[in-house]
Amino acid sequence: MSNVKKTEEEWRAVLSPEQFRILRQKGTERAGTGEYDKHSVPGVYSCAGCGTPLYKSTTKFNSGCGWPAFFDALPGAVSRHEDKSWGMQRIEITCAACGGHLGHVFKGEGYPTPTDERHCVNSVSLKFHDESQTTDK
């Protein structure tokens, strides 16, 4: 992964205020409000900040949590960090290329997926490209 480094001012210039709040300030969109929560078109979800491909639609599943859920990311695309904010212990996930906040990953919830993980991702952190726009099918 190539590292995408920008100043706060550069990020503010290329991101919407909501994208900046979530990707750069580790915010969260309200449950059930994101455009990709119930989205089920074949394709690839990339980082809304830097365009790095993060998830394939084949790993997306309906968890009912109110945010897009994936059971696995593309190899090397997502970094994991311990997050002890809000009095909880969670695993934050970020774009490996630009460090943009994506959401959190949860394990052992019992979903019938190959990894028993749920990557709970903010729609605002993602940009979708359908299969007709992608070269890696």
Annotation marks residue 47 as catalytic: no
Q: Which of 47, 95, 98, 120 is catalytic?
A: 120
Q: Which two tokens stand for residue 79?
A: 């970094």
Could you tell me where the beta strands, DSSP code E, fall in the chain? Answer: 43-47, 53-56, 60-61, 69-70, 78-83, 90-95, 101-107, 117-121, 126-130
Is there a contact between 79 and 69 (Cβ–Cβ < 8 Å)? no
Q: Which two tokens stand for residue 2?
A: 């190539």
Catalytically active residues, by annotation: 120
